[in-house]
Structure 1
């Protein structure tokens, strides 16, 4: 691939990533609102979530929830947010490697294996993350990954 074309593809990698992130926030908020509190019509719940997150208004005829099977089957109820939370954890953990100046840092890799992978589900994930990272997760690394901050 010619370098100029490669550079263009690389530059486009984060095109509209902010909208993509906000859409995922909308999905997660809708899911949480729908599965907590008093039962309400799902379109009213969606409208409320969209008022808090959407940048672009959805047409009135849109019935997105009718095909949002993630939250109605398979045990995802009120758990869709976990997709974004997993991205926060992954980006913040990887940021430690980039901050070290060596993404192949063997010492950090060993610490990640020892504090996260080896313990698996034997302790809460937050304890594993903080044992590795030395602090609670921060979303800044994910925002940087999406190209939304420097």
Structure 2
């Protein structure tokens, strides 16, 4: 349920930044209700004004970037899955993570670092498995 809630937030964020039209106005609540009809597990009461306090979408450089929380979980779970495959304390895997990711820091694009470590682009299956959604 938490994952679906985070997806709701991310979709709402994307849509209000992508679809804003000054001629129509912000349509904040209409957009939020459309997203909720698509993905919400539990609909909040009509009087709820969640959007008034959802500062992530306008503050601190997060505009249309709320999805990055879930994307970070995808990367984390997939990177950790290599440790699961090779053994949690496998020295070679730990050294590869150190060399290909940690030591590189921000010197290269994050996707490039991930692929260098994992040998492929990220997959969602490890996150779904770690979240108990798949076996």
Q: For 2:5, what is the secondary structure of its paired residue?
A: helix
* 1:120 paired to 2:105: yes
Write the distance in 2 (CA, Å) between the matches of 1:128 and 1:85.
Answer: 15
* 1:58 paired to 2:41: no
**Count of residue correspondences:** 131
Write the distance in 2 (CA, Å) between the matches of 1:47 and 1:30.
Answer: 9
* 1:97 paired to 2:79: no
Write the distance in 2 (CA, Å) between the matches of 1:72 and 1:38.
Answer: 14
- Length-normalised TM-score, structure 2: 0.92
Of 20, 29, 40, 1:38 maps to 20
After superposing on structure 2, the runs of 4+ consecutive aligned residues of structure 1 that deviate more than 4 Å are none
> Match of 1:24?
6
Q: What stretches of structure 1 of length at least 5 have no aligned partner? A: 1-18
1:72, CA displacement in angstroms? 1.7
> Match of 1:69?
55
Write the distance in 2 (CA, Å) between the matches of 1:50 and 1:121.
Answer: 36
Write the distance in 1 (CA, Å) between the matches of 2:106 and 2:35.
Answer: 32
1:90, CA displacement in angstroms? 0.3
- 1:57-79 CA-to-partner distances (Å, cap 9, x unmatched) read 22222110101111121111111
